[in-house]
Amino acid sequence: GPVGSLVEKGLLTRRDADTVELPRQVALALRGDRPMGSLDLSRPDVPLRVRETPLVDGTGAGAALEFLRRTDLLLEWLARESVPVLRSGGFGVRELKRAAKAADTDEPTAALVLEILHAADLVGATESVAPEWLPTTTWDVWGTGPEESRWAVLAQAWLELPRLPGLVGRRDETGKPITALSDGPRRPPAARDRRRVLDALADLSPGTSVGSPEDLARLLAWHAPRRGGRLRDETVGWTVAEATAIGVVALDALTTAGRVLLDPALRPDPAHPTRHPTELAATLHAALPTPVEEILLQADL
């Protein structure tokens, strides 16, 4: 047979009665003078799109208001319902579906909201015999603030989140589903990788965006080919999608509020995790539409 013929010619080495091995010299000869394949050292040519900065900021502000609305709906639902903490910790799969319905969104966004609320100390587990997920007393103070201030707290909590909400719904190494608020989505380098994706968008001029998350992933892989691990490209897509839902990214470009968010001087004090940067809140406030003060009632009301 072919295997025996290759062993006889010395192109394969017999290890035992059932195993053969390809000698190193033969492998190098088969690979030729470029054993690592063709390496392209030039920067990937990714498409760029330029939009007006006010359009990007206005779209992001609208997304921020919508994210706050879903956050409020989810907090009110948690205050009414009894959501038990799983024995293994975390938020149950069925409960997540109910939470998504209550917040008028899909399950990945509901998981993102839960993760951010927990990181901002707005949701926590009770210390009773049968622990439940409930809003914390911090919610009472946070909920009375203006929209831009409340958003700043959530955006800062998301940026520093050492977890990957995109993993919720997948299965771990044992085949069990990864649930929100459990140890499954925890990834200590997540905040660093999240900043890396946003920094790549911040390097572009205001209003400029990369063609797609896949193009952005190719650009980041070219800058640091050995960084990121198996979830490198997926993390880019998750970060862009989450930032868009929160209002940090709009129309695939970084908003002005997003640029302020990345400023290292605005990182919160660890002793006061709910403190919000005033400049960040003011930046969003400038992009928010003027509040409507008058309505017109027609004849049919």
Q: Does residue 191 register a pLDDT over 90?
A: yes
| Residue 143 β-bridge partners | none
Predicted TM-score of the model (pTM): 0.83
Asked if residue 211 lies in contact with residue 48, where contact means CB atoms within 8 angstroms, the answer is: yes
Q: What pLDDT does residue 274 have?
A: 41
Q: Does residue 241 register a pLDDT over 90?
A: yes
Sheet holding 208-210, edge to edge: 48-50, 208-210, 253-254, 249-250
**Percentage of the chain exceeding pLDDT 90:** 80
Q: What pLDDT does residue 33 have?
A: 83
Task: State the DSSP H helix or E strand holding residue 48, giving kind and residue range, or none if neither.
Answer: strand 48-50
For 34-69, the pLDDT digits (tens) are 777 777 788 889 999 999 999 999 999 999 999 999
Q: What pLDDT does residue 275 have?
A: 40
Q: Which residues contact 283 (CB under 8 A, 6 or more apart)?
A: 256, 257, 260
Q: What pLDDT does residue 66 have?
A: 97
For 72-127, the pLDDT digits (tens) are 999 999 999 989 999 988 999 999 999 999 999 999 999 999 999 999 999 999 99
Q: Does residue 278 register a pLDDT over 80?
A: yes
Asked if residue 80 lies in contact with residue 89, where contact means CB atoms within 8 angstroms, the answer is: no
